[in-house]
Structure formats: structure tokens, C-alpha cells
Amino acid sequence: MIGLFREACTGMSARASGLTGHDVIPKYTYVHEAARSIGATGAVDGARHDVASINEIAARLLPMLLADDALSTKEYRDAIWCLWEAKTPLADHPAVLRRIVEEVDRSDKRKLFRTLAAVYLIQFRSDRPGLELASSILQRGSLRWGEPFASYQNDYALYDPVLGPKNIAALALRQAMSPSDAMRSLGFGALDAQSGFTEAITRNLLVQLGDGAEPDHMRRLDMVRSYALDSRNELVFKGLDLEIAEALIKPFLGKSPEKAIKDIFLNFIVSIFKDPRTYPGRWERFPQIKALIVSWLTEQSLRQFLDIVGLTVKDPNDAQMWRYRRAFWEAAHRKGIIRGAWVVFAEDGARLARSRFGKNVDFATFVSAGSKQIQRTHAVLLLEVGQGIVADWSHNGKVNIWSDASERGAPKLYQRSYSSDDVTISKDDIETSRYLVKTHSSPKTYSWQRVVAERIYRMTNTRLQPSDYQ
């Protein structure tokens, strides 16, 4: 995996102070041509090391370095490859690290400088031990070794561990490029798309997007997709969860987008991190974003039920009844009564939901068990209301309310499947302190709505007024 790459990768030096991501960066054609002029765009060093050989070399060289034995130029170059990613990293030993980088600094062998520059970019991580020391040697050495290294440092601060990734990220953002394409545009074609330095650039880009660098939501989504996912739609860098989530959602905090935008962003973010209601662990690093996404998903689940069932209602009388159902539950949502929502679909509803809300949309499905025969268009809306649970059946079904969610037999939200018995209290209308089962009778006179609203008031101490849902 590791191989020395183009000599262009070794560029840059000391005049980095004061340079920011907003400074003007020259056209990349100059540095590309400068790299070409010394063979940097095509030359690949012959020394190649896989992980096994790096571990073996590190184990052999460490005692020699600790004992201050003389090393050849080739052994120093091998030692550089073992600085950070060997099983026993040489950089974990401060005296060994200093000896290696000081040899690079004083040597008249260009290959040593080139090797350290290559390893710095490939194995880059800001918390690496000794990274600052290696950075200072590379910045100073770029002046000594001349072009194109001096121009890279003067223009981009490539070997400054803070400014280098930031400046290349700014270039990528201005040129609408991916991080690896931005590096290739500068002549660094051999730098792996998953190198440590590319990851640092990607992190900077995502942070800038989260801070509002791209105000157009759909363009921002496309940029995050191009930065974060590979050609198989898998994450390029597993450690950027927080940055990805913030790049996607942080601009929405306090500014709720329209429903269509919500659905598109939900479909994408759930494809990466899964639904936080069913896979909460992945979301623990960003609780504020998790809370917002759960609120969006709650509202989306309510729309799933109302929109999808609405599409399957064919009888004009049922359609009229459905208008009242929608008005009631949307009013409950506006009042903040609904704490959580989850939908159970039969075949037709599941198919329509994925078509309308995206293939990554989450919901439950019916299993064939249960005393009530499930039709293809059936659906149930499960709601957390106060300390209780509501199960509202579609079409001519009834609303079932458990006043206490801990009641035996009360359904739990966010399961993958349910039988008809799991979401039904009784076939007959009943009203006790513990249960309510109510037919959606006389919707035009708001008969069932008043009964359900009264039960909700007892459960939440929030009054749903007729004017809210009429």
C-alpha cells in the first residue's frame, strides 16, 4: 500500500505564518509544470514497503538507532517509513525520532528529504508524535531543495500541519474538486485518496461546509457525498462521523427546511448512520444533531402514515373521513404532543413509502400472525403520547390507546415487525382508565376527536382544542 510517490509530494517550507484559507492561491498549472520539469509527475521511488516488511524493518532498526549505531542512507530511508505506522513506531522514541529527522536536515541526499515528505503526507495525522518536528524539518528543507518545493510551501503551506490541509481544502472548495482531485491538480497524482493528508483536507472541507461555506442545501449535499463516499457509496474515512453529520445538518439548526429537503437529507444521513431510533449508538457523538434528526423522523413517520394511506384510500367516503384524521394528528404534532412516531405497513404501504420517501426510509411491517386479517393496504400509526401509546389503524380501523406504555401488552415503538394483535387492544369500543378503543365515528361532528382529545389531555395535561383540528 505504501510506496514513495512523486517528488512533487515533497514540497514546501517555512513562509507559512499568516497564510489562511482565504488567501489567493495561484493557478495550479504553474506548480504542476514545475513538478513535471523535475520528473515529479511520473517518477516513483523504487523503495516499496508493505505493512509486514515495515514491522520487520522497525524491529531490526530500533536497537541500532537506540545504540547510536551507524546507518546507511538506505537504512535511514527505511527508518522513515517506520516512523508512525509500524507495529512499534519509531516516533514513539523521541531520541530515535530526533536522530532520523536531523539526519534528513543535514544530509546532502535529496532522497532522504523526499522520503520524509512522502511519509509525512501518507501517514499524516495531527496527533502523531513528533509530527511538529518533522514538519519544521520539511518546511526548512523545502527552501534548501528549491523548486517546486519552495513554491508549494510559499503558496500552500503544505507542510504546516494546520495551514496545509486548510489551504488545500480552500482550493478544493473554490475549484469544486474532491480533496484527492485538488492534490492531483497540483501534481501530487501518486498521493493515495485515503492518505492521512487527504483525510485532513476532507475534515477541513466538511468543517467549512458545516459552518456555512455552501448555503445552497442541495449543492452542499452533493459536496458531502463526493467528499465522504467512495464509488461504492461507502465511507472513505471512518473517523469523520462528526464532521459529516455537522456538514449535513448544522446549517439547519434553528432553521427548519421544507419537507422535501428534509426527506432528501434524511434519506442520505440515515444511509450512512442508520436510523437513530433503532441504531442509537452511532449517533452518540453528536447529541444535538441526533435530537434534530429524531424530531424530523417523527414528523416524517406521521407523514408516511397520512400520505401513504391517503394514496390507498379509494372510496370517496373514506377519503372524506381521512381528511379529518389527517387534521387531528397534524394538530397534535403542532402542539408538541407527539414524542415519537413509528409506522407499521402491509405490502402496498411499504412499497409506496420507499418510492415516495427514499429507499433508506425506516418503518415496520406486519407479520401474518394475529387474529385480525391484514389487507395489503393496511397500516398502523404508533405514537408516544405522554406516558402512553397510541395505535391508530388505517381505513376503517380503530384508534387504540394504552394510557400507560408500561402496561402489559402495550406495543413498543421501533421494532421491525408486529402482528395485528400487537397493536390492537380490543375489537370492540371500550373506555376505561387504562384503555381506550374508539371507532372513527361521526368525524364531521368531531365525535371521536373529542373523546381521543380528552384521553390525550389526561395523559399529557395538554388540551387539544376543537379549533386546532377543525
Instruction: For residue range 416-455, list pLDDT tens digits in order.
Output: 999 999 999 999 999 999 999 999 989 999 999 999 999 9
Model-level pTM? 0.82
Q: Does residue 360 surpass a pLDDT of 70?
A: yes
Cα separation, 395 vs 378, in Å, equals 7
With 50 as the cut, is the pLDDT of residue 115 above it?
yes
Asked if 119 and 80 count as a contact pair (C-beta separation under 8 A), the reply is yes
Q: Are residues 200 and 348 in the same domain?
A: no
Residues 311 and 201 in one domain: no
Residue that is last in its domain, among 178, 210, 242: 210
20 and 140 both lie in a single domain: yes
Per-residue pLDDT at 41: 32
**Residues 43, 180 within the same domain:** yes
* pLDDT cut 90: percent of the chain above it: 71
Reading the block at residue 403, the C-alpha cell is: 394510557
CA distances from 155 to 30, 141, 283 (A): 11, 16, 39
| Partners of residue 331 on adjacent β-strands | none
Q: Are 90 and 62 in contact (CB under 8 A)?
A: yes
Amino acid at 309: V
The model's confidence at residue 93, banded by pLDDT at 50, 70 and 90, is very high
Average pLDDT of the segment spanning 18-40: 33
- Per-residue confidence at 51, pLDDT binned at 50, 70, 90? confident
pLDDT tens, residue by residue, 300-320: 999 999 999 998 887 777 778
Kindly state the helix (H) or strand (E) to which residue 437 belongs, with its residue range: strand 435-438
Residues 195 and 343 in one domain: no
Is residue 69 scored above 50 in pLDDT? Answer: yes
One-letter amino acid of 466 = P
Kindly state whether residue 263 falls inside one of the protein's structural domains: no
Average pLDDT over residues 73-87: 94
DSSP state of 235: B
Q: How many CB atoms lie within 10 A of CB 288?
A: 12
180 & 324 share domain: no
Asked if the structure places residue 430 within a domain, the reply is: yes
- Alpha-carbon distance of 219 to 119, in angstroms, equals 34
In a domain, 191, yes or no: yes
Distances (CA, A) of 236 to 179, 226, 241, 283: 12, 10, 11, 18
> Confidence band (pLDDT; 50, 70, 90) for 8?
very low
Name the residue with cell 506548480: 31
Q: How far is CA 213 from CA 190, 197, 240, 288, 326, in A?
A: 29, 21, 18, 21, 39
Q: How confident is the model at residue 164 (pLDDT cuts 50, 70, 90)?
A: very high
Domain count, the chain: 2
The pLDDT value recorded for residue 50 is 73
**Cβ(40)–Cβ(4) below 8 Å:** no
Whether 245 maps to a domain, the answer reads no
Same-domain check for residues 178 and 306:
no
Quote the DSSP letter at residue 37.
H
Region 457-466 average pLDDT: 96
Inter-residue contact 83 to 91 (CB < 8 Å) = yes
Is residue 191 located within the same domain as residue 321? no
Q: Are residues 37 and 153 in the same domain?
A: yes
Report yes or no on 41 lying in a domain.
yes
Kindly give the residue spans of alpha helices, DSSP state H, lying in 186-286.
Answer: 196-210, 217-228, 241-249, 259-273
Asked whether the CA dihedral 218, 219, 220, 222 is positive or negative, the reply is: positive
Closest CA relative to residue 272, chosen from 238, 306, 305: 238
Tabulate helix, strand, coil % of the chain (nearest 5). 55, 10, 40
Same domain? 36 vs 155: yes
The last residue of one of the domains, among 181, 210, 239, is: 210
- Residue 49 in domain: yes
Supply the Cα-derived Rg of the chain in whole angstroms. Answer: 31
Q: Is the pLDDT of residue 326 over 80?
A: yes
The verdict on residue 373 lying in a domain is yes
Residues 320 and 173 in one domain: no
CA–CA separation, 377 and 395 (whole Å) = 9
pLDDT at 370: 86
Which of 192, 210, 228 lies at the terminal end of a domain, its last residue?
210
What is the pLDDT, as a whole number, of residue 194?
Answer: 82
Q: Which three cell numbers stand for residue 142?
A: 523545502
Tell me, yes or no, whether 295 lies in a domain: no
Mean pLDDT, rounded, of the chain: 87
Residue 396 is part of which domain span?
301-469
Place of cell 379529518: 324
Q: What pLDDT score does 23 carry?
A: 29
pLDDT digits 0-9 by tens, 370-418 = 888 899 999 999 999 999 999 999 988 999 999 999 999 999 999 999 9
Is residue 428 classed exposed, middle or buried when 0-12, 13-18 and 19+ CB atoms within 10 A define those classes? exposed
